[in-house]
Structure 1
Amino acid sequence: MRNPKKNKRLTSILGVLLLAAGALGGIAVPAHAAPPTVVSLTFDDGNDNQLAAEQVLKAHGLVGTFFITTSWIGSPGYLTQANLQTIAGDGNEIGGHTVTHPDLTTLTPSAASAEICNGKSTLESWGFQVSDFAYPFAAENAAVQAEVKNCGFASGRGLGDIRSPASCADCPFAETLPPENPLVTKAPDEVDSTWTLQNLEDLVTNAESTGGWLELTFHHIAVGTDPTLTISPTLFDTFVTWLAARTANRTTSVKTVAQALG
């Protein structure tokens, strides 16, 4: 009968000798690779100050996803169809965000379907390929999810299920890829005026510690507009500059929602 302890000792000694021989002979010992991290920069509603923000992304070679409320396009304070063409032409994704931005859980199934499907078909009639959706107010339930799927969307973005600066301390740092439920993808709270550069950077570095997908949600990139859901252009530019440099490590990348979902 073999002595298992003796065999274990011999195996350990052999392993040490092999590592030493590898080091002396220039043989690389593979390290454990960090899991990749994907960051998606998303913009809700179609506010007109998002065009300048998109140009900041372009200057740094980055792209984002713009979730559009179609009835607002062309109105004062909102993007125009021509703006959307420019944004899409720069490689960004145009996504659905309903026709009038209602709380879909308060509507009848037919009304919810009309909001979701008509928003998508309008964007498609303007020439955009539309595959991803964001729930207004992050309001959804099983019935609304079913309508999003029936309208032909591949995903629907939620909010508040990833650890955020002021909430969800027990939540994970990032969504999984692929998501467990693509019809309600997990994301941090929407970015607002209380967020600092450190908050934004921490969300990225925390996600890098585990790997996965981080969707950040912006509304206004401006000064003096809707202060609750606004960050300054200076803060946005500084963060994007930092994020672009961060992607040089090749473990973190910036992708649209469609790209992230493959």
Structure 2
Amino acid sequence: MRTIKHKQIMAALGALLLTAGAFVGVVVPAHAAARTVVSLTFDDGNDNQLAAEQVLKAHGLKGTFFITTSWIGGPGYLTQTDLHNIAADGNEIGGHTVTHPDLTTLSTAAATAEICDGKSTLSSWGFQVSDFAYPFAAENAAVQADVANCGFASGRGLGDITSPASCAGCPFAETLPPENPLVTKAPDEVDSTWTLQNLEDLVTNAESTGGWLQLTFHHIAVGTDPTLTISPSLFATFVTWLAARTANGTTSVQTVAQALGH
């Protein structure tokens, strides 16, 4: 009798555990927040990005700087020393060709040279380079193949994620891992028409689905390129908001390499 009673008790406990497990299986995923990663990327190597990097540093954040190598050291652009200081703070240095052409208009040999030579130059300067951004977001199958053959793990596009003035029916974020790492999806590049609300909405929209949000900056300045510019005050206000946002435990700011796990 004791054996039978013991078996009955164990069976009852087992049923309770199965029932609890069923509830856990239903309830926990419904309340679990999806992981969201934000990457702050900076194109071309403009010298006003140096102050922006210091804003990131002050908030414990890191970004990815896609560099057009022939412009480095010229008027209005970062120097090699600047790049090393940026990298020393934990930021990523990425490739953005030698002269910033539309790669789809070049011969295969010329496109390959732009991509590979840009990477090899950065490597010769002492940087480990794994990620690429297409100038003008211009790419096709042949250019994608060149990016892969030159040793890049990813290539960033633009305009395939919901943006303030376009792509209303697009996703709020890229998937992690991306469906095609050689053309990762990102919103339009940030320009002078964007507001703080626009930037914040991109992040909170991405949080609603989870995934990867890449934001692309060019000039953080006043009185430069009137299109691809936001003011230092707007940038600082957004970064302050974003840094606080990461405290919710579901959103993190990572470099492109970190987001992709390489």
Query: Which residue of the partner structure matches residue 204 of structure 2?
Result: 205
Which stretches of structure 1, 4 residues or more, deviate above 3 A after TM superposition?
none
Query: Which residue of the partner structure matches residue 147 of structure 2?
Result: 148
Q: Report the TM-score when normalising by structure 2.
A: 0.89
Query: Which residue of the partner structure matches residue 224 of structure 1?
Result: 223
Query: Which residue of the partner structure matches residue 251 of structure 1?
Result: 250
Query: Which residue of the partner structure matches residue 105 of structure 2?
Result: 106
Query: Which residue of the partner structure matches residue 116 of structure 1?
Result: 115
SS at the partner of 1:227? coil
1:90 deviation in Å? 0.1
SS at the partner of 1:225? coil
Counterpart Cα distance in 2 of 1:169 and 1:248: 29
Deviations 1:26-45 (A, max 9, x none): xxx74631110000000000
Deviations 1:89-138 (A, max 9, x none): 00000000000000000000000000000000000000000000000000
Counterpart Cα distance in 1 of 2:238 and 2:161: 19
Counterpart Cα distance in 2 of 1:40 and 1:64: 6
AA matched with 1:157: R
1:173 deviation in Å? 0.1
Counterpart Cα distance in 2 of 1:175 and 1:213: 5
Counterpart Cα distance in 2 of 1:240 and 1:67: 19
Matches of residues 166-245 of structure 1 in structure 2 within 5 Å?
Answer: 166-245=165-244
1:210 deviation in Å? 0.1
Counterpart Cα distance in 2 of 1:115 and 1:40: 25
AA matched with 1:260: A
Matches of residues 74-113 of structure 1 in structure 2 within 5 Å?
Answer: 74-113=73-112
Query: Which residue of the partner structure matches residue 10 of structure 1?
Result: none
Residue 38 of structure 2 corresponds to residue 39 of structure 1: yes
AA matched with 1:187: A
Deviations 1:171-194 (A, max 9, x none): 000000000000000000000000
Deviations 1:148-205 (A, max 9, x none): 0000000000000000000000000000000000000000000000000000000000
Query: Which residue of the partner structure matches residue 68 of structure 1?
Result: 67
**Larger deviation: 134-143 or 30-39?**
30-39
Structure 2: any 5+ residue segments left out of the alignment? 1-14
Deviations 1:69-92 (A, max 9, x none): 000000000000000000000000
Count residues in correspondence.
239
Counterpart Cα distance in 2 of 1:142 and 1:256: 25
Counterpart Cα distance in 2 of 1:142 and 1:32: 41
SS at the partner of 1:253? strand
Counterpart Cα distance in 2 of 1:235 and 1:97: 25
Counterpart Cα distance in 1 of 2:119 and 2:178: 22
SS at the partner of 2:227? helix
AA matched with 2:87: A
Counterpart Cα distance in 1 of 2:144 and 2:124: 23
SS at the partner of 2:31? coil
Counterpart Cα distance in 2 of 1:251 and 1:259: 16
AA matched with 1:216: L
Query: Which residue of the partner structure matches residue 137 of structure 1?
Result: 136
1:250 deviation in Å? 1.1
Counterpart Cα distance in 2 of 1:136 and 1:67: 10
Counterpart Cα distance in 1 of 2:45 and 2:125: 15
Deviations 1:235-254 (A, max 9, x none): 00000000000000110000
